[in-house]
Structure 1
C-alpha cells in the first residue's frame, strides 16, 4: 500500500529511482507561456532540478514535498541557503536568493490558493487509482481559474508495478477535463535503455497541457 510511510522509507533507504539529476527536457520544451512573476506550484517535488529551472525563469516557485530528507538534499545539492518557518501542519523552507520555497508536509495538508500554473512530473503517477480523483480535485482548488498546467504521465501494459503507476489517456481527460491536450508522447522502451528488458509491449511517457494561450 502506498502511504506516507512508504515514501519516507523510500527516501531513507535511497530507493529514489524516480529522481533525475538533470532538468526534464519535456519541461524546457513544452512549458506554457506564463508571465514572469507568476506563482507556480510543483506537487510532490522531491529534490528535482526542475524547481531551479522554473525559478530561474523568473517564477515564484512553490514545491510541496513530504520527505524532510528530500528537502535538505535539494538545498544542499544546489548550495542554496534558506530559512524555515512552521505554519500549521507544514514547514516552509524559503531560499534566500531565489524566488523558491519548498513546503514540507503532506500535500493534502497544503491549502494555499491562487497559483497561476502547475507542473506535475511525478505526482499524478505516484497516486494509486483510488486517490487520483482526490489529488486532482485538491490541486484544482490550489489553482486560479485560468491557470496553466504541464502534466507528464506514464502508461504501460502488463502487471501494475507502480509507483510510478500507469495512468491511461482516458483517465487523464476524465480527471482534468476537456481543456487538457496531449502535446507529445514517447515509448521509453524504444529510446531509454533503463526500460529495455521489461516484460511489456509499451511504456509510454506522455506530455499534457492546459493553457489559456
Structure 2
C-alpha cells in the first residue's frame, strides 16, 4: 500500500478496541436528514474527487458508476452530465428527493419488486437511478455490476461491526477492470467517537487487499472541517483500488 506521510507521525489505533461497538441506527440517519444534521454533505462537491477525476474515469465513456450511501451528492449529476449511468442507494427518501429538487431534475418513482416497501427514483433522462433502501438489502434488487464506485462517506459511515459485510457487497458489484475510489479519515478515535468513523490503513488492507491493489492518491489535512471533533488532528485519505 502506498502512503505519503506528513511530518506528523499518525498513530494507528486498533479500531476493534475503540469504536467496535458504536452503532448508528437507520432511524438515526433518517432523523439527521429531517433535522438537517447533514454536515457530511458537500454542496460544492468533493474537491479531491474533482482533482483526481481524470485518473478515475480514464477517458472512458458510458460507465456505470455506483454511489453507496449517496445522500444528495452533487457529484452524481457531474457523472450523469458526462454521459455515465449513475446508480445510488440511500436510506433517506428525503435526501433523494432533495437531490432531484436541488439539481432541478424531474423524476419518477416506483416500488422495487424484490424489496417490499422500498422504492427507486429515476431521473426523466434515465441515467440516474437512486434506490431508497438499506445498503444491506440492495443485492436483492439485482442492480448489476459497475465499472466505478465512488465511496465517499459510506465506508466511514457504516457501523464498524458491519464493515466486513459492507465490503463484501461492494466487491460483489464490481466488473472486471473496475476502479474504486474511497475516502477515509485518520484521527484519534479516543477523542472523537464518529461518525465519520476512524478507519485504519491496516483495515483498508484487510478489507480490500485480497482482491484489490491499493494506492493512496492523496492525504490532506481536514481539521478545519472538523474543528468541533475535539481531536488534535484529522486527515482525509483518498485511496484508488484497482483489480488484482
Shorter-chain TM-score tier? over 0.9
Of 55, 64, 80, the match for 2:80: 55
1:76 aligns to 2:76 (yes or no): no
Structure 2 equivalent of residue 108 of structure 1 = 136
> In 2, are the aligned partners of 1:113 and 1:141 still within 8 Å (CA)?
no
1:171-208 deviation per Cα after TM superposition (whole angstroms, max 9, x unaligned)? 1111111501111001212xx2x323643221010000
**CA distance, structure 2, for counterparts of residue 107 and residue 164 of structure 1:** 17
> In 2, are the aligned partners of 1:20 and 1:48 still within 8 Å (CA)?
yes
1:10-56 deviation per Cα after TM superposition (whole angstroms, max 9, x unaligned)? 11111111111111111112231342111110000001101111111
Of 157, 160, 174, the match for 1:143: 174
Aligned pairs for 1:42-191 within 5 A: 42-87=67-112, 88-89=114-115, 90-97=118-125, 99-111=127-139, 112-157=143-188, 158-177=190-209, 178-189=212-223
**CA distance, structure 1, for counterparts of residue 72 and residue 208 of structure 2:** 26
Q: Secondary structure at the match of 1:184?
A: strand
Moved more, 25-34 or 123-132: 25-34
1:27 aligns to 2:49 (yes or no): yes
Q: Secondary structure at the match of 1:84?
A: strand
Structure 1, gaps ≥5 residues long? none
- Tell me which of the two structures has the higher relative contact order, counting C-alpha pairs closer than 8 angstroms and 6 or more residues apart: 2
Structure 1 equivalent of residue 237 of structure 2 = 206
Structure 2, gaps ≥5 residues long? 1-22
The two structures, once aligned, show a CA RMSD in angstroms of 1.6
1:141-195 deviation per Cα after TM superposition (whole angstroms, max 9, x unaligned)? 1111321101111110132421111111111111111501111001212xx2x32
> In 2, are the aligned partners of 1:113 and 1:144 still within 8 Å (CA)?
no
Structure 2 equivalent of residue 196 of structure 1 = 227
> In 2, are the aligned partners of 1:115 and 1:147 still within 8 Å (CA)?
yes
> In 1, are the aligned partners of 2:191 and 2:229 still within 8 Å (CA)?
no
Q: Which has the larger radius of gyration?
A: 2
**CA distance, structure 2, for counterparts of residue 113 and residue 99 of structure 1:** 15
What TM-score comes out, normalization by structure 1 length? 0.92
Aligned length, in residue pairs: 209
- 1:59 Cα shift? 0.9
